Chains A and B, each alone.
Chain A
Amino acid sequence: MKLKLALATTVLTSLVLSGCASTNVSYGDAQSVETLNKDFGSTDLQMIADKMVDDMLTFPVIVQLTQNRRPVMFVDRIRNKTQEHIDTESITDTIQNKLINSGKFRFVDMTSANALAQQLAYQKQSGLVNQATSVKAGGHIGAEYMLNGNLSSIVKNVGGKSDVYYKFTLKLQNVQSGIVEWTSEKEIRKSSKRSAFGL
């Protein structure tokens, strides 16, 4: 009787312990607000991209510019001046995606320029490609406008409180004249407070 009881207790204990150690995986809503900590997160990225695109597409000069044609632009880079490691290319990718899908702008992708050059060289010089089907070199369209910007932050920690202020600035510059045609800023402030006793 005692043996059975001990066995049952062991089985129950092992079940409880294995239950504690189990990993639960679930899908979350990628569009929901993320506030896991005060570091730069997905919600910040999305809010920045939305604000930049909305501002640009409603700016009167840009509205006039895109009335009858789709200007070509390229993304230079976003300088990350914060102390965090932030993938700024992800921000510009989202902005580029929205601008292309608005039907107002076209982009040349400088990150794939080397790959395109290699493919052109392969088609022209390898001797493996039927020249009747190869693309003509020198047909790329030059970008008229350039997008670049900065992401900076100010972080303050006092006691258990922490505050971070992000400022994202984006500029649209005319490649030929050098004139900045449009610029916009998005500010984000996030605060966190360390809970007492981890509660």
Chain B
Amino acid sequence: MKIYSKLGMASLLAASLTACTAPNSLSTQTAADGTYSVKTISSNPKLVTQIGVDRISMGYAGDLKKASIAIKDRWFVSRNFEYKIVWVDASGFEVNPEGSRWKPIQLTGREIKTVQSIAPNPSAVDVVVYLRKD
């Protein structure tokens, strides 16, 4: 019984530690008619209370897709976060793997800051935005 209890505690500790560093993500899914839906994956519940994507807009620059992402600090204090924008093609494959980087972003309390990204080439149609704590 004691072993189960210890194992449970260890798992809980591991889960809580993972939750501290795990990023949250948001991805778009573009339909054939050009409309897109947004899907959010929250693997870090604490981070959800601190930072989130307020809105996302997609458009075109020629035949290259561009995304504008408004990132919001949900707390009243200034914080440092990191974000990464990954472009994927219509089949869900990452375009230019290893080409997307984590970038630092500083947000003052309740601030909404917009970041933009342009597709690496015309085959990229959707984005996956990752957010994590600095």
Contact = CB atoms under 8 A, between A and B. Distances in A.
Partners in one complex: yes
Interface of A: 29-33, 35, 43, 46-47, 50, 53-54, 57-58, 63, 66-67, 98, 101-104
A33 B98 contact: no
Given A53-B118, A101-B96, A63 B101 contact: no
B38 interface: no
Contacts of B64: 57-58, 102, 104
A22 to B, nearest CB: 26
A57 B100 contact: no
Contacts, number: 54
B82 A98 contact: no
Interface string B90-120: 0000001010111110000000000011101
Given A54-B118, A103-B121, A31 B102 contact: yes
B118 A57 contact: yes
B118 A58 contact: yes
Contacts of B74: none
A63 B100 CA distance: 23
Contacts of A54: 66, 116-118
Interface of B: 61-62, 64, 66, 82, 84, 96, 98, 100-104, 116-118, 120-122, 134
19 contacts: A31-B100, A32-B102, A33-B102, A33-B134, A35-B104, A43-B104, A47-B103, A50-B103, A50-B117, A53-B118, A54-B66, A54-B117, A57-B64, A58-B61, A66-B62, A98-B120, A101-B120, A102-B121, A104-B64
B104 A30 contact: no
Contacts of A30: 98
A53 to B, nearest CB: 7
Given A58-B61, A103-B122, A33 B82 contact: yes
A30 B61 CA distance: 29
B66 A58 contact: yes
Contacts of B84: 31
A43 B80 CA distance: 15
A50 B103 CA distance: 10
A62 B98 CA distance: 26
Contacts of B100: 31
A59 to B, nearest CB: 8
A43 B117 CA distance: 16
Contacts of B96: 101
